[in-house]
Amino acid sequence: MALICSSVLMSEDFMYWESNFAPVVLADLTTQSQIESGSSNVTLFTNGDAEISADNTATAQLSYGTDSLVTEYRLTFSGDGSSATGGSTVDWTVYDSFLTTPAAVTHVPDDNDVVVTLYVRASNYADDVADAGTYTATQTLTAHWVGP
């Protein structure tokens, strides 16, 4: 009598953020033409293709009371989606248009993570100098499962 045992390794699909992005603190705008930018990054773990979308509401715009700043975002990935899990850079885009077409994250087998860097840039409107104060915004990025 022969007993044959075999095991099949079945893995569940997964996608999750390592943590939240750390707050980005920008230098004060002290002149009309000054532009300030900063960034924060976090790792997205996935074993399949994904898309990342963004919040395009007023909460994503830097504001203080009734005053606001020109607020733009940019997104980069540690991989290109070809040789390592990742995607193409999303260039500077005004907050209310940022990632209206989600950014594609292409999974490369045996590379189950990608560092996603979110950049924010602030400037005054051409015809207005913002009031002094602490301007805040909250940008929410959401990763959506696309598949294997």
Give residue 11's pLDDT: 60
pLDDT higher than 90, residue 117? yes
How high is the pLDDT of residue 46? 95
What is the per-residue pLDDT for 29? Answer: 92
pTM: 0.89
Tell me how far apart the alpha carbons of residues 38 and 118 are, in angstroms, rounded to a whole number.
9
What is the model's pLDDT at position 147? 76
Query: What pLDDT band is residue 5 in, cutting at 50, 70 and 90?
Result: very low
From CA 89, how far away is CA 104, in angstroms rounded?
Answer: 10
pLDDT band at 8 (very low <50, low <70, confident <90, very high): very low
CB 14 within 8 A of CB 45: yes
CATH architecture of 33-147: Sandwich (2.60)
Q: Would you give the DSSP letter of residue 91?
A: E
pLDDT at residue 59 in the model: 97
pLDDT in tens, 45-101: 999 999 999 999 999 999 999 999 999 999 999 999 999 999 999 999 999 999 999
What residue type is 144 in one-letter code?
H
Question: Which pLDDT belongs to residue 96?
Answer: 97
